[in-house]
Amino acid sequence: MKRLEQSNISTLLTPLHPPRKGSLLYHWRNIFKNIHAYSFFIRQLVRINILRDFKRSYIGLLWLFILPVLSVIIWILLNGAGIVEPGETGIPYPAFVLLSTSIWGFFAELYRSTSRIFTERGNMMIMARFPHEVLVVERILVHLIRFSIPFLVNIVVLLLFGVRFTWLALLFPLTLLPLLILGMAIGLVVSLLRVVAVDIASLADHGINFLMFLTPVVYAPTIGIGWLSEAIRFNPLTYLIGFSRDVLTQGAFYEPAAWGICTALALLFFLFAVRFFVMSEPKVIERLIDN
């Protein structure tokens, strides 16, 4: 068979698939370029993700409304049964828990879904070439949709509980951003570990679950139990979640200085995580075996 001379190769062709290197800025430009080029694919993936669960159900998307209503009812019942005094919550306890758990869920759910990119979409990744950042965007968009619909139900419930909103409440969606990038950043790092170091990934899953108990979510930040108070004080999520919650329900900023520091740290970690993901992600694909 005929074979090209080395000198001819370099004049006629260029090397494909060069290794990824370059500055942070270069990576980010690349990410946005890929997301733009594959925006229709992202739309399709989001559509599949949202509709798939409901395609076979008779009532379809109504489930998105029914589930939050059920969870509200459960919290009201638990409260009525006489839960331990959770500390000074400012607003009625069921409303406090409802809102806090849903903000916590915003963070934890995003971690959960980004950290499973390779296990849930690995099959697609080894069958076709497309930029994998689109899967991350898909997860975020699906997450936002899945979060916002039940959240609207929660707002109605908060009103029924007598919570009154101020204009500052309009800032609420913005205050979720630090939680979004933190959840995503941890998820991206763990997603790679879930392929090559399953034990660490499981540990991280349990760690996140456990973290919820060290965060004022089902009790107030002012709870006075020795070591727990200390843990709460040094837990960045105390500030990130408390800030969002208070902006919505009190029209006030919760510990703005600590919140600012935590947000800056979350941003730094996010930049690190994205770079780590972009640089290492191509190499773990061949390690995927259970597809």
Partner 1 sequence: MLHTTPLLSVRNLYKKFSRDIRYNLYYGAQDLLGDTFGLKTEYLQLRKKEFWTLADINFDLFAGEILGIVGANGSGKTTLMRLIADIYHLEAGTIYGRPEQKITAVFALAAGMQPLFTGRENIYIKGSMYGMGKTEIDAKMAFIKDFSELGGELDRPFGNYSSGMRARLAYAIAIATEPDIFIIDEALAVGDSVFKAKCFDHLKEYVRQPDKAVLFVSNNIRKVLKVATQVLVMKKGRIIYESTDVKAALNHYILNCLDDLDEEQRQRKLRRVQKYDM
**Interface residues with partner 1 (CB under 8 A)?**
1-4, 6, 8-10, 12-17, 19, 37-41, 43-45, 48, 51-52, 55-56, 123-130, 192-193, 195-198, 276, 279-280, 282-287, 289
Write the CB contacts of 189 (distance below 8 Å, at least 6 apart in sequence).
273, 276, 277
For residue 144, the 8-state DSSP code is: H
| 118 φψ region: left (φ > 0), alpha (ψ -120 to 50), beta (else) | alpha
- Taking the complex as a whole, the smallest distance from the CB of residue 183 to partner 1 amounts, in Å, to 21
State how far the Cα of 183 lies from the Cα of 113, in Å rounded to an integer: 10
- Buried b or exposed e, range 262-275, using 16+ CB within 10 angstroms: bbeebeebbeebbe
Instruction: Give the residue from 176, 168, 132, 141 showing the smallest Cα distance to 34.
Output: 132
Nearer to partner 1, 23 or 257 (CB): 23
- Taking the complex as a whole, the smallest distance from the CB of residue 53 to partner 1 amounts, in Å, to 10
Nearer to partner 1, 224 or 286 (CB): 286
Nearer to partner 1, 28 or 54 (CB): 54
- Taking the complex as a whole, the smallest distance from the CB of residue 250 to partner 1 amounts, in Å, to 42
- In terms of Cβ atoms closer than 10 Å to its own Cβ (0-12, 13-18, 19+), residue 258 is middle
- Taking the complex as a whole, the smallest distance from the CB of residue 55 to partner 1 amounts, in Å, to 5
- Taking the complex as a whole, the smallest distance from the CB of residue 56 to partner 1 amounts, in Å, to 7
Nearer to partner 1, 22 or 256 (CB): 22
Nearer to partner 1, 6 or 227 (CB): 6
The phi, psi pair for 279, rounded to 5°, reads -75, -35
Write the CB contacts of 285 (distance below 8 Å, at least 6 apart in sequence).
122, 125, 126
Nearer to partner 1, 4 or 62 (CB): 4
- Taking the complex as a whole, the smallest distance from the CB of residue 14 to partner 1 amounts, in Å, to 5
Which pair of structure tokens corresponds to residue 13?
């062709």
State how far the Cα of 237 lies from the Cα of 265, in Å rounded to an integer: 12
- Taking the complex as a whole, the smallest distance from the CB of residue 115 to partner 1 amounts, in Å, to 15
Nearer to partner 1, 14 or 23 (CB): 14
